[in-house]
Amino acid sequence: MKKIKHAKETFLSRQVFILALVLFLCQATNMYSKENVAEDFQQKKVTLNSNGELLTKAIETIIKQSGSEIVFFNSQIGNIKCGKIQLTSVTVETALEEILRGTGFGFVKQDGRFVIKESPNTPKETKQNNPGIEIRGRVTDESGEPLPGAWVIVKGTSIKVYTNMDGEYQITVPGVNSIIQVFFLGMENKEFKITSPKQTIINFTCKIKENTLQEAVFVSTGYQKMSRRDMVGALTTVNAEDINMPNYASIDQMLQGIVPGMIVSNSSSRVGTSPSIQIRGTSTLLGDTQPLWVVDGIIQEDPIKINASTLMSDDIKNIIGNQVSWLNPMDIETITVLKDASSTAIYGSKASNGVIVITTKQAKANQERLSINYSSSLTINSRPNYGQFNLMNSQERIQFSDEVFGSGVPYSQVPYYDYNTYEGVKRLYIEGYISLDEFNEKRRRFETVNTDWFKLLTRTGLNHTHNLSLMGRSQSTTYTASASYTKQQGQEIGNDSERFTGRISLGFKIRENMRLNVSITGSYGLNTGFGQGVSPLHYATNTSRAVQAYDELGELSYYQRINTYKYNKLVPTLSYNIINERDNSGSFTESMRLSSNLDFTWNLFKGISYNLTGGYNYNVSAMESYLSEQTYSIANSYRGYDFETALPQSVNFKAAMLPFGGALFTNDARQKSYNIQNKIAFNQLFRSGKDRLNILLGHELRSGTNLSTANTVWGYSLDRGQSIIQPTIPAEVIPTAGANGSYTGFGILSDLYSGRWKKQDQTNNFMSLFGTLAYSVDNKYIFNASIRNDFSNRFGQNVNKRIDPTYSFGLSWRVSEEDFVRRHLSFISQLNLRATYGIQGNALTNVSPELILVKQGKKNVFEQYYSTISKIPNPHLKWERTTNWNIGGDVQLFNKVSLTFDYYTRRSNAIISQDVPYEMGIPTSLMNGGIIHNRGLEGTLTFAPINTKEVGLALSFNSSKNWNKTGEPVGEIMFEQYLSGKAGSIIKEGYPLDAFWSYSFAGLDPQTGAAVFNLMDTPVDIAKADPTSFLEYSGERTPSISGGLGINFRYRSFSVRSGFSLMMGGKTRLPSPYTNFWNGIKLPGPESNISKSLNDRWKKPGDEKFTNIPGIHMGNIEYKLLPNEINSTLPLEMWEKSTAMVVDASFLRCRDLSITWRANEKNLKKIKFSSIAVTASVNNLFVIASKRFNGFDPELKDSVLPKSYSLSVSIGF
């Protein structure tokens, strides 16, 4: 059955490709059969009545009736009249003969056209009066770059030539008063009237059309800059200026909802974090799923890895950033997202997840004057509040505790004697330690305290950004320089980000055929976060408002938490206050980066050029995370009593491993990388410029070195000169009575004395050969191909398996350039059909054909050195390979409506982790065989109904749908994997990677209020063979539909922009309202807050008609055996993982809404300014999602993205 399915898919793909190929060949053949078409026109009859009208008008009548193509020089016959003529149903030839009779002109047939020309008996003097004027020149864009393939036409005639690869043209016009027109896709048309025969050199500078729907004229693929019409791949280009949002410091955060087929998911609300990006689904299980970033042709290395062996590095991982976090968004010109194999194959094995190419701003070669620009923005981020969430206030929390406890439900742990919690005071009263009056007074205090944890732990953040840039040129040099400073305050107090960047770029015209560009970028960043176990926003949403932060005197108020310190059982609890914990711990990442780029171009011969591109990056990062001795974390793990509460030589003091100081984790890393590319480009025109051939051959060397040193020290004293105080010698530790005295070998002792210093040194070298070819026939039919070989010794003993050939082929047919479309379907401004096929490889960096043995330290149990096996070899392991098909098109109607669409399929053979016998020394091994299918539809629709000088309106909508399914799973699937749906393993054939199943909720038992489930009577043999037989499929966690909406309105000096992002198709589970309950039968601790939804739980028979929340179970609880008779679980856990808790994670987010005022150009000239603009904007204005999230962001699940208000000013000189 599997083979049949695969055969059908392959057969369908082949049919589609063959169909595209046939269409391409048919149209290519059409260019050579125009004579046949002309014959059809000639057979058509025309009727003409003329009473001495202009000859040109008579010719236009013939063209209209017959559809024939008739070419004439308006300058030659524009004033000639024909005689009185009456023709009825005659051929085109007869009609032409009659109207030209006696005019001195005749006609000939050439290439299917009728060409009007002088008769052979025309007097010689007349011919010499119109010898023609030979004109030559160059066509460039605003930056001075040549526009190859531009049409240069003599208006009103069929005289037409194309510019060569240097933008040069040569054309002969009939004479004075002739008008030369220049056309180039995406550029404004240009005209020039010849007024003197001495005007023989005419250069044209074309501007990009504004407020139109034309596609990008040139696109940078990183390795080369190509005309968009010569590219057949699926790609999307956006201008950074169009998506810039002042409250974001990194360009990746601005891309959500912008590019079809690309899902950008926010991973945290903290500043300094980076979103997750996925292009066209997942194609790997164990490799990196993030796209490849390229800046000015240089591949950006992955962020520095940190030692993840300690929990103290958890928060650092969130604020380390990604490959482009160092780049100032204001320095960016364009962002191009390459999606299919035709676009990405040239990047080889690094590009299986797509490529994002960034080009930075450069001075224009034809810039007339020095320009200076300054911009600044001020952003205010709102803080969250309890009105957004469905959480109990202090009075509700106490009433809930009394109600449930009074009904006989015990606490998960007997409340401690604690004057700072209601449950602790209640125990003191019950056991007679305080009076009823004292209890009532305390109760009133707890009911009314209503601690606002959001106000104490979060803030209204203030961000500001400043950018200064200048651009200019001298006779042979262009220069660009910029500097920026950004300061961001996160919504959590203690989370901040600061960044400085500076950049200088120089361009030198060494000779007429040589150009050199160099740039240097430096950046410094500082991100601060929190220490181990500290998450202010999470604490605010999970902590009871009846718990005080400060006492009546304004001092910090501490409540009691359990003491788990191993060697001291005399102290049952320790004091905790989140503000103390936050202020005495923390983490930060400090990074400095220097990047240099070189680009040298040498035009060796006409149409042949050599390019050298080089880049060197040096990145230094210092990361720290610390816990001071005043924190609960240190007391609970290494000391056993509160700070400064034990005297020296006391029992508690002697039992402490760390009586003084805290802990410090450091990770210092250096990253060096270089990239050298040598490229030869061949660009030639054929058939008078109608055909173009572009060939690029290249060689690339790339190397990256990562050196990191990680260390954890104990006894760190922050407020005593950051000194280190030695922990207690193990032999001198005296556990208290009842404590575990065996402390050799594991646990705390291993932490403190087994060594936490680690140094890692890794170098990755790459060598690649690549080439691309693009051939354009008659500017209508384009063939594109690319190939790249990456060499790696990570795969197998077979040499052929160590080479990764990635290649692609593509065809494109520009239907709108066909004559019949231009004549009869003039409303079609653009119509282009594309088809591509390609193979991509993916090299996992953690794979090796060799046995990897890691020499570890000393094993305390055996008092000997020991080693571990990291990887076992697989001689048959091959590259991960993905087969790509893409069919798409670009349509534009009336220059107002634009549609781009693509359909793609991707089949990946991924590397998976397979369980192996224990005797092999390692639990898992890597092997090929993980089949992943992705197919999808993408589209972008843009509509510009109004586009006048004063008013403009443009709407843009993009959307994509991805269908993901997997092949047969390899190895045993654990039952929990069906319920969790975590990506990274194939669970069930035919389902998405992150598919998950749930218990089928049937309702509540009317007598007990317990959850009841369907399918629990599934036969044992069926349940054992397929665990999903007694579960219900819930969906996939990753959104399958993504999209965005953009609205731009312009009126005189004002413009309004709004952007929306849409995610649909994803499912998730809601957090359980019983999260802090012990198995749903015991009350949580006094510090835990509770969702108001528990007020709607089942309480009595009949409630099951109005609620799906089970009641709190009374008495003992038993595990429920599942139908497969292998697994068992608690009833409440079944409900928490049932369909009752599954929610649609779809949402619509208003990303930004802004209004901009730009000063009038006339007024600017008076004050010597080139531009002034003021923008007011709001980001994350609202989110429309399921109400069941109760205020939490559907992307973040347990947090919210802040709403931000910005005011920006931009001034140009």
697 or 1114: whose pLDDT is higher? 697
In sequence order, the 6+-apart residues with CB closer than 8 A to the CB of 744 are: 730, 860
Tokens 């009314």 belong to 448
The amino acid at residue 895 is N
Q: Which of 238-242, 305-309, 351-355, 964-968 has the lowest mean pLDDT?
A: 305-309
Confidence tier at 1209 by pLDDT (50, 70, 90): very high
Task: Note whether 912 and 970 are within 8 A (CB).
Answer: yes
Which of 125, 104, 132 has the alpha carbon at shortest distance from 116? 104
- Calpha distance 692→686 (Å, rounded): 6
Q: Is the pLDDT of residue 73 over 70?
A: no
Chain-centroid distance of CA 457 in Å reads: 30
Q: Residue 127's pLDDT is what?
A: 40
> pLDDT tens across 934-957, in order?
999 999 999 989 988 899 999 999
- For the segment 1129-1141, the average pLDDT, to the nearest whole number, is 93
**Whats the size of the chain, residue-wise?**
1213
pLDDT one-digit tens code per residue, 1064-1081: 999 999 999 998 887 767
The candidate with the shortest Cα–Cα distance to 1150, out of 1073, 1069, 1003, 1045, is 1045
**pLDDT for res 793:** 52
pLDDT score of 110: 67
405 has a pLDDT exceeding 90:
no
Angle among Cα 749, 751, 753 to the nearest 5 degrees reads: 60
What pLDDT sits at residue 379?
95
Q: Which residue has the tokens 């030639």?
A: 684
**By C-alpha distance, which of 135, 126, 128 is closest to 197?**
135
CA distance 419 to 1208: 51
Going by pLDDT thresholds of 50, 70 and 90, the confidence category of residue 13 is very low
Asked whether residue 531 carries a pLDDT value surpassing 60, the answer given is yes
The amino acid at residue 843 is A
How far is residue 960's CA from residue 276's CA, in Å, rounded to a whole number? 17
Place of tokens 């059909």: 833
* Average pLDDT of the segment spanning 213-241: 79
Torsion from C-alpha of 1136, 1137, 1143, 1147, nearest 10 degrees = 100
Most confident of 18-27, 977-986, 1050-1059: 1050-1059
Whole-model pTM: value is: 0.81
Task: Please state whether beta strands 179-183 and 190-193 pair in parallel, antiparallel, or not at all (unpaired).
Answer: antiparallel
Residues 1179 and 1202: their CA atoms lie apart, in Å, by: 8
Distances (CA, A) of 140 to 165, 684, 906, 1064: 11, 18, 39, 44
**What is the residue whose two structure tokens read 């490229």?**
679
> Which positions ≥6 away from 1138 have C-beta within 8 Å?
998, 999, 1000, 1001, 1011, 1013
Q: Decide: 1060 and 389 in contact? Cβ < 8 Å.
A: no
- Between 128-142, 171-185, 651-665, 1043-1057, the lowest mean confidence (pLDDT) is in 128-142
Q: Is 854 exposed, middle or buried (0-12, 13-18, 19+ CB in 10 A)?
A: exposed
- Residue 70 and residue 849: Cα distance in Å, rounded? 70
The topology under which CATH files domain 133-206 is Immunoglobulin-like (2.60.40)
First to last CA, the chain: 70
Please tell me the predicted confidence (pLDDT) of residue 17.
Answer: 44
In tens, the pLDDT along 546-570 reads 999 999 899 999 999 988 888 888 8
CATH code of the region 377-382+460-994+1037-1066+1146-1208: 2.40.170.20
Integer Cα distance of 117 and 392 in angstroms:
92
Question: Minimal CA–CA distance to 418: which of 405, 434, 396?
Answer: 434
Q: What average pLDDT score do residues 232-256 get?
A: 88
Question: Rounded mean pLDDT of 19-39?
Answer: 43
Per-residue tokens: 700: 């690339």
Distance, in Å, from the CA atom of 581 to the CA atom of 634, rounded to the nearest integer, reads 10
pLDDT at 2: 41
Checking if the pLDDT of 1180 tops 80, the result is: yes
CA distance 189 to 166: 19
Round the average pLDDT of the chain to a whole number and report it. 84
Instruction: Categorize the per-residue pLDDT at 76 as very low, low, confident or very high, splitting at 50, 70 and 90.
Output: low
DSSP string for 983-994 = SSS--STTS-TT
In this predicted structure, the answer to whether residue 618 has a pLDDT above a threshold of 70 is: yes
Mean pLDDT lowest among 142-151, 303-312, 424-433, 1147-1156: 303-312
pLDDT at residue 721 is higher than 90: no
Continuous segment of H or E residues that includes residue 621: strand 608-627
Q: Tens digit of pLDDT for each residue in 89-105? A: 888 888 888 888 767 67
Residue 27 pLDDT class (50, 70, 90 cuts)? very low
The runs of H, that is alpha helices, within 122-211 are 124-128
Q: Whole-angstrom Cα distance, residue 411 to residue 433?
A: 20
Domain ranges of the chain: 33-124, 133-206, 377-382+460-994+1037-1066+1146-1208, 995-1036+1067-1144
pLDDT tens digits along 1009-1052: 999 999 999 999 999 999 999 999 999 999 999 999 999 999 99
Tell me which residue of 221, 24, 207, 28 sits closest to 694, measured CA to CA: 221
Q: What is the DSSP string of 927-939?
A: EEEEEEEEEEEEE
Helix (H, G, I), strand (E, B) or coil at 192: strand
Enter the CATH code of domain 33-124.
3.55.50.30
The amino acid at 267: S
What Å distances lie between residue 192 and 149, 167, 426, 687, CA to CA? 19, 17, 93, 26
At 676 the pLDDT is 95
Strands 1142-1144 and 1147-1158: unpaired
Strands, E, within 391-447: which ranges?
none
Mean pLDDT in residue range 790-801: 56
- The beta strands (E) that lie in 792-923 are given as 803-814, 828-842, 852-859, 864-871, 880-893, 897-915
162 in Cβ contact with 152 (< 8 Å) = yes
Nearest to 298, CA basis, from 220, 362, 239: 220
Exposure string over 82-114, b if 16+ CB within 10 A, otherwise e:
beebebeebbbeebbebbbeebebbbeeeebbb
User: Closest by alpha carbon to 584, among 556, 619, 610?
Assistant: 556
Write down the residue that tokens 């509160």 correspond to.
642
Question: What b/e sequence results for 912-940 when a residue is b if at least 16 CB atoms lie within 10 Å of its CB, and e otherwise?
Answer: bbbeeeeeeeeeebbbbebbbbbbbbbbb
Cα torsion 507, 511, 513, 516 to 10°: value is -20
Band of pLDDT at residue 39, cut at 50, 70 and 90? very low
Pick from 29-38, 71-80, 1065-1074, 1111-1120: least confident: 29-38
How large is the C-alpha radius of gyration of the chain? Answer: 37
Tell me which amino acid residue 592 is: M
Q: Is the pLDDT of residue 376 over 90?
A: yes
pLDDT of 825 reads 87
d(CA 627, CA 530): 10
Q: Is the pLDDT of residue 313 over 60?
A: no
Confidence of residue 8 (pLDDT cuts 50, 70, 90): very low
Query: Which of 602, 601, 468, 595 shows the shortest CA–CA distance to 519?
Result: 595
Tell me which residue of 1028, 1032, 1024 sits closest to 1124, measured CA to CA: 1024
Among 1196, 1200, 1183, 1203, CA closest to 265: 1196
Task: Say which range, 295-309, 517-531, 931-945, has the weakest mean pLDDT.
Answer: 295-309
What confidence score (pLDDT) does residue 797 get?
47
**In the predicted structure, residue 544 carries a pLDDT above the cut 50:** yes
Angle between helices 55-66 and 92-100 (to 10 degrees): 180
Using 50, 70 and 90 to split pLDDT, how confident is the model at 912?
A: confident
Q: What is the DSSP string of 999-1047?
A: B-EEEE-TTT--EEESSTT--HHHHHH-GGGGSEEEEESS-SEEEEEEE
Q: What is the pLDDT of residue 846?
A: 63
Report which of residues 713 and 131 the model is more confident about: 713
Which residues have a Cβ under 8 Å from the Cβ of 811 and sit 6 or more positions away? Answer: 20, 21, 24, 232, 781, 782, 783, 784, 834, 835, 836
